């Protein structure tokens, strides 16, 4: 058994208000061996689940249902738990630079970008979390 197969699955919390995109992403990530669990659709739910489930990394959309957007949820999770966060969005990244900078995400990805970029960012986040 290889060393990577022997280690525990990387737990990824997907926070995405468009449930079909979240399900599609979860299915793809599970096919690569990640543990994704249920899709979270609100910032408030993301904060709560991050505390309960203690994921290794969080994929956070910026536009969410509920009172708390993705930036607010990511900021709170980072402060309370220190969980590595990957921001993914359908918005133009330049218009979000100031808010993104305050969160210090591992990566900022476009929603429908290549899955390889997402996998690389997850691996980078997990390595960062182990240091």
pTM for this prediction: 0.85
Find the mean pLDDT for residues 39-47.
96
Query: Is pLDDT at 66 greater than 90 in this prediction?
Result: no
Average model confidence (pLDDT) across the chain: 85
Find the mean pLDDT for residues 42-70.
93
Find the mean pLDDT for residues 21-48.
94
Query: Is pLDDT at 128 greater than 90 in this prediction?
Result: no
Quick one: pLDDT band at residue 92, thresholds 50, 70, 90? low
Query: Is pLDDT at 56 greater than 70 in this prediction?
Result: yes
Class of domain 9-130: alpha beta
Q: Are 16 and 25 in contact (CB under 8 A)?
A: yes
Q: What is the spatial distance between Cα 52 and Cα 66, in angstroms, rounded to a whole number?
A: 19
Question: Among 121, 51, 47, which residue's Cα sits nearest to residue 84?
Answer: 121
Domain extents for the chain?
A: 9-130
Q: What is the pLDDT of residue 51?
A: 94
Q: Are strands 12-15 and 57-61 parallel, antiparallel or unpaired?
A: parallel
Q: What is the pLDDT of residue 24?
A: 92
Query: Is pLDDT at 72 greater than 60 in this prediction?
Result: yes
């Amino acid at each position: 058994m290889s060393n990577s197969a022997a280690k525990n699955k990387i737990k990824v919390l997907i926070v995405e208000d468009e449930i079909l995109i979240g399900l599609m992403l979860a299915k793809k990530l599970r096919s690569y061996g990640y543990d994704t669990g249920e899709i979270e659709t609100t910032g408030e739910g993301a904060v709560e689940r991050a505390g309960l489930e203690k994921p290794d990394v969080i994929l956070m959309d910026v536009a969410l249902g509920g009172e708390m957007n993705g930036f607010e949820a990511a900021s709170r999770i980072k402060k309370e738990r220190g969980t590595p966060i990957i921001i993914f969005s359908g918005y133009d990244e330049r218009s979000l630079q100031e808010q993104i900078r305050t969160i210090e995400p591992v990566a900022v990805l476009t929603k429908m970008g290549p899955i390889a970029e997402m996998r690389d960012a997850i691996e980078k986040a997990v390595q960062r979390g182990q240091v």
